[in-house]
Amino acid sequence: MTDQPPATAAGVAAPLGRESVTGLILAGGQARRMREAAERGAGGPPMLPDCLADWQGWDKGLVLLDGQPLLWHAQRFLAPQVARLLISANRYLELYGRYGEAFGDDPTLGDAQGPLAGIATALARIHTPWLAVLPVDVPHPPADLFVRLAAALHEDGRARVAFASIRDGDTERDQPLCMLLHSSLQEDIRAFLFAGERRVRSWLGRVGALRVHFQGGEGVFGNINTPQDLAMMAGPVPRAPRAPHRSQCRKS
């Protein structure tokens, strides 16, 4: 992986052009820690009533934050920036389908192959050169997330994928699933999975991904994994990014 230094104000140019990008919300996880909290009697998180009526287990994207499912927060952020919105989900496809085009993992990739299976399945469905990926459990990403990733790819001119990382003093925390990648990587991901691999960081290193640094701060890239995380993230919803008007990605 290659580090991209923090961008200066001059380096952050125009937002991504939505006509060249498909968005993907990764919502296929099983909310294991949410489920464990409920099974311990610690109280499960609030979920959509329709979800509880047709119980298939805890599903993180349908957990409510400030009265709206986490999926709503992700859709609100991503939809204005892309030409089309896909949702990778392995349960409750009808509920997820209210917010975008919901689909399960390609069964030829095997069972429980993790987020890379969702990304590979999405790449087989798109017609744009770029795919912007956002996990459903990151409700408040930086407004310039995909602008910065696109700018890094444009400046590099060779890399086909960039992902976010938080830099806070001497501490750095990668956010490997907050990524922008080129559609030509579909076969590489499939080959990686068929070889028995599934770790996202290993795949990013294999393809020479760019690491783009963002400054840390309260709530930035906050992941919701437990009911406690959910309570800490509750509060005013940040303003969504404005609709984009042209692409920073190089021509495909």
CA 228 to chain centre: 21
Q: Is 28 a known ligand-binding residue?
A: yes
Q: What confidence score (pLDDT) does residue 13 get? A: 36
Q: What confidence score (pLDDT) does residue 54 get? A: 57
Domain made up of 2-233: CATH architecture: Alpha-Beta Complex (3.90)
Q: What confidence score (pLDDT) does residue 1 get? A: 74
Domain boundaries, the chain: 2-233
Q: Is 60 a known ligand-binding residue?
A: yes
Q: Is 78 a known ligand-binding residue?
A: no
CA angle 92, 97, 102 (to 5 degrees): 80
Q: Is 251 a known ligand-binding residue?
A: no
Token duo for residue 171: 């501490």
CA distances from 187 to 22, 113, 117, 199 (A): 18, 16, 12, 16
Q: What confidence score (pLDDT) does residue 106 get? A: 94
- pTM score, whole prediction: 0.81
| pLDDT in 10s for each residue of the chain, 252 residues | 767 544 433 333 344 578 999 999 999 766 665 555 555 555 555 666 666 545 556 778 888 888 888 999 999 999 999 999 999 998 889 889 999 999 999 999 988 889 999 999 999 999 999 999 999 988 889 999 999 999 999 999 899 999 999 877 777 889 999 999 999 999 999 999 999 999 999 999 999 999 999 986 656 777 766 655 665 666 654 444 443 333 344 444
Q: What confidence score (pLDDT) does residue 201 get? A: 96
Exposed e or buried b for every residue in 65-98, given b needs 16+ CB within 10 A? Answer: beeebbbbbbbbbbbbbbebbbbbbbbbeebbee
Q: What confidence score (pLDDT) does residue 248 get? A: 41
Q: Is 27 a known ligand-binding residue?
A: yes
